Chain A
Amino acid sequence: MFDWLNYNPTAAFVVFSALKIGIAFGVVMTMVAYAVLVERKVSAFIQDRVGPNRTAPPLALKIPFVGRFLQGLGIFQPMADGLKFILKEDFTPSYVRTIYFWLAPAIAVIPALLTIAVIPFGSMLGSEKMVIADLNVGILYTFGIVSLGVYGIVLAGWSSNSKYPFLGGIRSTSQMISYEIAMGMSVIAVFMMVGDLNLSRIVEYQSGGLHHWLVWRQPLAFVIFLVSAFAETNRLPFDLPESESELVGGYHTEYSSMKFALFFLGEYANMIASSAMMVTLFFGGWQPLWGAAPAGSVFAGLTHILWFLAKLVAFMVLFIWVRWMLPRFRYDQLMDLGWRRFIPLALANILATAIGLGLYSLASN
């Protein structure tokens, strides 16, 4: 049935890429929706509440037992939330700079989604590599794209033409740029060990089981990356750009309806992207705990994708958990941590790695 694909590599490439993009996009969107639900459930658990347990479509409760159970889990809540966002009035205040006000939410979402393109989310499925674009400069691409995400927030803050959003935008700019440096530097040590920027090859390097994962060889890099990821995604304890107790809602104060939802989506998509990066860089990517070669069968391929998703979800839960456990940093503390602790630490880590690698190559010669 798919024979014609074998004769025309270009067509095959286009078809499979489109498929992968479509599926990855769908998965990310679903994960965003349910991440919000998990967020609410986890926060409820931490605060000794129940969380969303009422929403259910009309016929769902007719299903005996299962219907009630799903309602209690809040499975239907994201659908209701989505519907609400779409149906709400899309209000644009009169004093905003309209073009940028409308552009900003889109600019905030797009980079987060583009990042997914280079992440190897599985090994092989049939003869197809499970990564949308296997770039040789994969990680640099990610950093480049992520760094563009800040424009959405900055423009939102500025175009709202009001004080709180502006302060939020300004905070976010300096925060994201500062932590991008620490993040980038922490990753350099990883490249030095692997000797490649290609994410697939970084996963390959970590094959052979749990003890080959880079988190054991570069623990400091991982810690810096993790903390920076929190800052980059504007999540608590670094959610100063939107800190509701000082800035009302920060850069998205003036937004409503779907435009607000896009910011929300951007934040969660960014979380997913960061988690995926951490899984790929430090936790063996799609590799199971005991390690595996790229899959030969479709079933093995699917399990690899599941492994990747499981690790991803674990990181998402970590993101959410931290949000409800830690208080917000003060702004000067945030800057101090970034510039005066992490950047020197990351530099020291690069130096230490270089010395270690140099000694290793001396010893092995």
Chain B
Amino acid sequence: MPEFTDLLFYGLAALTLGFGFLTVANPFSRNPVTNAMFLVLTIISMAGLFVLLHAFFLAAIQVLVYAGAVMVLFLFVIMLLDLPEENRRQIKTLTLGLGTIAVAAIAGIFIKAISHAAPLAASDRWLDGETKPLGKILFETYLLPFEILSLLLLVAMVGVILLSKKDLK
């Protein structure tokens, strides 16, 4: 009999994939808001997967930042643009064929890779995901990338202002 956490993992993984699928290809609705809401659910299920890995900080931040702030802004924009329901596209046979081949190729590579990979030892399943170890990794091992990211955010801010401000002098 599988362990309870295993069941949880499979459940959450299925939810993540299912919601992810509904985000990009929802057969029931072509409404962009619905897609965005499914993306929120995907993110929350992923946070659940992080919890199973004992990466609590990451899980909380995932919900706080992505579900709670980024996606709200997405919704905000979608609602302000008042996008109409998307038309169902006519998919050409060629596009469909090429798309299928591409997806099948990538999926094939992944399946082959994963089926040949050695499973991890049970002790490796849990991360050192508490706040303190994570902070140490972030501010000691990966200090330089972390600081570069702050520059990246500055660039993003300058860029957004430049590209979107109405009357720039």
Contacts and interface: CB of A to CB of B under 8 A. Distances in A.
A180 B75 contact: no
A147 B79 contact: no
B68 A144 contact: yes
A100 B29 CA distance: 13
Interface centre among B57, B64, B80, by most A CB within 10 Å? B64
A102 interface: no
Contact of B56 (A136, A143, A146, A157): A136
A177 B57 contact: no
A140 B80 contact: no
26 contacts: A136-B131, A137-B60, A140-B57, A140-B61, A143-B64, A144-B68, A145-B63, A147-B64, A147-B68, A147-B69, A148-B63, A148-B68, A151-B75, A154-B76, A155-B37, A158-B33, A158-B79, A170-B76, A170-B79, A173-B72, A173-B73, A173-B75, A173-B76, A176-B72, A177-B72, A197-B131
A292 interface: no
A131 to B, nearest CB: 16
Nearest to B80: A170
Question: Could you tell me the dominant secondary structure of chain B's interface residues?
Answer: helix
Interface in B28-48: 33, 37, 40, 47
B60 A144 contact: yes
B128 interface: no
B103 to A, nearest CB: 30
Nearest to B67: A148
Nearest to A174: B76
The 7 closest A-B pairs by CB, nearest first: A147-B68, A140-B60, A144-B63, A144-B64, A137-B56, A137-B60, A158-B79
B49 to A, nearest CB: 15
B147 interface: no
A151 B60 contact: no
B160 to A, nearest CB: 14
B6 interface: no
Question: Could you tell me the dominant secondary structure of chain A's interface residues?
Answer: helix
Contact of A154 (B60, B79, B131): B79
A166 B64 contact: no
Interface in B53-84: 56-57, 59-61, 63-64, 67-69, 72-73, 75-76, 79-80
Interface in A127-177: 135-137, 140-141, 143-148, 150-151, 154-155, 157-158, 166, 169-170, 173-174, 176-177
A177 B56 contact: no
Interface string A169-191: 11001101100100010000000
